[in-house]
Amino acid sequence: MSIKEKALCLRIFVGEKDRSNGTTPLYEAIVLKAREAHLAGATVFKSPMGFGHSSLLHTANILRLSDDLPMVVEIIDAEKKIMDFLQTIKPMIKSGLATLEEVKVVHYGSGG
């Protein structure tokens, strides 16, 4: 699999508690769908602090313990593949934020 120099980054912001089909963490379900769709790759980042449209603060601060920390899923691939994938996962994302950003791929793959 290869990615051309010009690609898109799909960034999806969800909460740690968000679920797909009531059981699987949403961030995990998105990554598994991305793998199933043969996208170039996906990475999940867990954030120690954040807030969204509700302005409710989610933090790992011990004094204000939250069990719904922000999660960010990043997926990079060709524009067509990302746009098709976005349509596939739109029904899964009930709340949160999804953004697209043009990126320039300078390296993808193993060194060997």
Domains of the chain are 6-104 (3.30.70.120)
Helical (H) or strand (E) element with 19: strand 19-20
For 31-48, how does the pLDDT look when each residue is reduced to its tens digit (9 = 90+)?
Answer: 999 999 999 999 999 987
Backbone angles phi, psi at 91, to 5 degrees: -65, -20
CB-based contact 59:46 (threshold 8 Å):
no
Q: Could you tell me the pTM of the whole model? A: 0.85
Q: What is the pLDDT of residue 57?
A: 65
